[in-house]
Structure 1
Amino acid sequence: MILVTGGSGLVGSFLLAELEQRGLPVRAIYRGEQVPTVARVEWVPGDVRDGLGLRAALDGVTHVFHCAGLVSYAPQDEEELLRVNVEGTANVVDACLERPGIRLGFVSSVAALGGGKAAETPGAGPLLIDEKAQWDLGAEHSAYATSKYLAELEVWRGVSEGLKAVMVNPSVVLGPADWSRSSTRLFRYAYDEHRFYTSSTINLVDVRDVAEMLASLVLDTTRSGERYVLNAESRPLGEVLGLMAAEFGKRPPAVAVPNWAAETIWRLEHARSLLTGARPLITRDTARAGRRPFEYQADKIRRELQREFRPLPETIRWCCQELVK
Structure 2
Amino acid sequence: MILVTGGTGLVGAHLLLHLAENEVGIRAIYRSQKGLKKTESLFQLYQKDSLFAKIEWIEADIIDIPSLEIAFQNIAYVYHCAGLISYDPKDEDQLRKVNIEGTANIVNFCLAYDIKKLCHVSSIAALGDLKPHEKEITETTEWNPEALHSDYAISKYGAEMEIWRGQQEGLNVVIVNPGVIFGAGFWHQGSGIFFSAIKKGFPFYANGSTGYVGVTDVVKIMVQLMKSDIVGERFSVIAENLTFKEVIFNIAEKLNVKKPKTEAKPWMLALAWRLDWFSATFFKTKRSLTKYGANSLLTSEFISNEKIKNALNFEFQSIKSVIQEAVDLDKR
Q: Normalising by the residue count of structure 2, what TM-score does the alignment of the two structures yield? A: 0.92
Q: Residues 87-126 of structure 1: matches in 2 within 5 Å?
A: 87-115=101-129
- Per the TM alignment, residue 286 of structure 1 is displaced from its structure 2 partner at its CA by 1.5
Residue 315 of structure 1: which of 296, 312, 322 is its match? 322
Q: Which residue of 2 aligns with 1:180?
A: 188
User: Which sections of structure 1, spanning at least 5 residues, go unmatched?
Assistant: none
Between 299-308 and 278-287, report the one with greater CA deviation.
Answer: 278-287
CA distance in 2, matches of 1:281, 1:200: 18
Residue 191 of structure 1: which of 193, 199, 215 is its match? 199
CA distance in 1, matches of 2:206, 2:299: 12
Residue 165 of structure 1: which of 173, 178, 187 is its match? 173
- Per the TM alignment, residue 11 of structure 1 is displaced from its structure 2 partner at its CA by 0.2
Q: Which residue of 1 aligns with 2:8?
A: 8
> Per-residue displacement from partner, 1:123-161 (whole Å, max 9, x unpaired)?
x9x941111111112212110000000000000000000
CA distance in 2, matches of 1:253, 1:290: 15
Correspondence 1:77 to 2:91: yes
Between 29-38 and 269-278, report the one with greater CA deviation.
Answer: 29-38
Between 234-243 and 161-170, report the one with greater CA deviation.
Answer: 234-243
Q: Residues 231-246 of structure 1: matches in 2 within 5 Å?
A: 231-246=238-253
Please give the secondary structure, in 1, of the residue aligned with 2:212: strand
Asked whether the equivalents of residues 63 and 103 of structure 1 are also in contact (C-alpha less than 8 Å), the reply is: yes
> Per-residue displacement from partner, 1:10-40 (whole Å, max 9, x unpaired)?
0000100111111321100000245444331
In structure 2, relative to structure 1, the CA distance for the partners of 1:77 and 1:127 (3 Å cut) is farther
- Per the TM alignment, residue 290 of structure 1 is displaced from its structure 2 partner at its CA by 4.4
Q: Residues 47-86 of structure 1: matches in 2 within 5 Å?
A: 47-86=61-100
Q: Residues 263-278 of structure 1: matches in 2 within 5 Å?
A: 263-278=270-285
* TM-align CA RMSD: 1.6
Q: Which residue of 1 aligns with 2:254?
A: 247
- Per the TM alignment, residue 101 of structure 1 is displaced from its structure 2 partner at its CA by 4.1
- Per the TM alignment, residue 8 of structure 1 is displaced from its structure 2 partner at its CA by 0.6
Q: Which residue of 1 aligns with 2:17?
A: 17
Q: Which residue of 1 aligns with 2:237?
A: 230
> Per-residue displacement from partner, 1:36-79 (whole Å, max 9, x unpaired)?
44331100000000123212211110000000001110111111
Residue 304 of structure 1: which of 297, 311, 316 is its match? 311
CA distance in 2, matches of 1:236, 1:127: 16
Count of equivalent residues: 318
CA distance in 1, matches of 2:95, 2:181: 19
CA distance in 1, matches of 2:331, 2:276: 30
Asked whether the equivalents of residues 209 and 243 of structure 2 are also in contact (C-alpha less than 8 Å), the reply is: yes
Between 135-144 and 147-156, report the one with greater CA deviation.
Answer: 135-144
Asked whether the equivalents of residues 106 and 167 of structure 1 are also in contact (C-alpha less than 8 Å), the reply is: yes
CA distance in 2, matches of 1:254, 1:7: 38
Q: Which residue of 1 aligns with 2:295?
A: 288
Q: Which residue of 2 aligns with 1:134?
A: 142
> Per-residue displacement from partner, 1:168-212 (whole Å, max 9, x unpaired)?
000000012332211011111221222212221131100000011
Which letter does structure 2 place at the counterpart of 1:159?
Q
CA distance in 1, matches of 2:119, 2:327: 29
CA distance in 2, matches of 1:70, 1:76: 13
Asked whether the equivalents of residues 51 and 92 of structure 1 are also in contact (C-alpha less than 8 Å), the reply is: no
CA distance in 2, matches of 1:244, 1:293: 20
Q: Which residue of 1 aligns with 2:49?
A: none
Asked whether the equivalents of residues 201 and 293 of structure 1 are also in contact (C-alpha less than 8 Å), the reply is: yes
CA distance in 1, matches of 2:154, 2:143: 9
Residue 217 of structure 2: which of 209, 232, 241 is its match? 209
Structure in which a larger fraction of residues adopt helix: 2
- Per the TM alignment, residue 268 of structure 1 is displaced from its structure 2 partner at its CA by 0.5
CA distance in 2, matches of 1:243, 1:263: 26
- Per the TM alignment, residue 253 of structure 1 is displaced from its structure 2 partner at its CA by 0.9
Please give the secondary structure, in 2, of the residue aligned with 1:65: strand
CA distance in 2, matches of 1:107, 1:276: 35
In structure 2, relative to structure 1, the CA distance for the partners of 1:230 and 1:264 (3 Å cut) is same
Between 271-280 and 254-263, report the one with greater CA deviation.
Answer: 271-280
CA distance in 2, matches of 1:20, 1:8: 14
Identical counterparts, % of pairs: 36
Asked whether the equivalents of residues 78 and 115 of structure 2 are also in contact (C-alpha less than 8 Å), the reply is: no
